[in-house]
A and B are shown apart, each in its own frame.
Chain A
Amino acid sequence: DGGITQSPKYLFRKEGQNVTLSCEQNLNHDAMYWYRQDPGQGLRLIYYSQIVNDFQKGDIAEGYSVSREKKESFPLTVTSAQKNPTAFYLCASSSGTSGEKLFFGSGTQLSVL
């Protein structure tokens, strides 16, 4: 089945540690996105990528980094510079055309130890 796979489902970060969240899609989509969701709040855009080897900052990129070396993969690294990383992280993909629906993964819950 085509879809988006995020792993792990739960992740714990120690202070000062970088952690990487995985996102893989087999929908042949050009565009991929990372959103952050805090409890009881909406989703905020962290980074997005329209094409391989290119990505842009979203509204809350500070303390995060991404790469897009393959069309299928868009990993997100939460660096030690992100002082409040506890949140639910959602990866999404789309054809990249304006107005088209986003397909979402099942999310990763990141918590700080």
Chain B
Amino acid sequence: AQTVTQSQPEMSVQEAETVTLSCTYDTSENNYYLFWYKQPPSRQMILVIRQEAYKQQNATENRFSVNFQKAAKSFSLKISDSQLGDTAMYFCAFNAGGTSYGKLTFGQGTILTVHP
């Protein structure tokens, strides 16, 4: 079974600064997918970024980028130029690929607060 660990329960950052959220996972699969989802106070789950394990290039989406270290089983999220609207709970999630279909295993989440 796969496990996903987010070791930072809470983080804070000043507006316009950069913050990195950590995520590690455990799997015996070789081809899999990793995600970061954001859950703002509205509690709506929003996809932030997606990474395919067989792609060495780190995914980027505007101010959001990842540092994917396959050998270390690490998948951190970097938020640049933080904005007040980035305040949310962030979840790292894993999909095992193959016949796992769309099932996701989630980490415990990191609460990010952006201060003005």
Instruction: List chain A positions with a Cβ less than 8 A from chain B.
Output: 31, 33, 35, 40-45, 48, 50, 58, 88, 90, 92, 94-102, 104, 106-107
Contacts and interface: CB of A to CB of B under 8 A. Distances in A.
Contacts of B91: 42-43
Contacts of B102: 31, 33, 48, 92, 94-98, 100, 102
Q: Say which size band chain B's interface belongs to.
A: 20 to 34
B47 A42 contact: no
A102 B32 CA distance: 15
11 contacts: A40-B9, A40-B108, A58-B103, A97-B101, A97-B102, A98-B96, A99-B32, A99-B50, A102-B45, A102-B47, A107-B43
Contacts of B103: 33, 45, 48, 58
Contacts of B42: 106
A99 B104 contact: no
A90 B102 CA distance: 15
Given A48-B103, A99-B97, 6 more contacts: A33-B103, A41-B108, A42-B106, A43-B106, A90-B45, A99-B33
A104 B44 contact: yes
Interface in B95-116: 95-109
Contacts of A33: 102-103
B52 interface: yes
B68 interface: no
A40 B91 CA distance: 11
A98 B43 contact: no
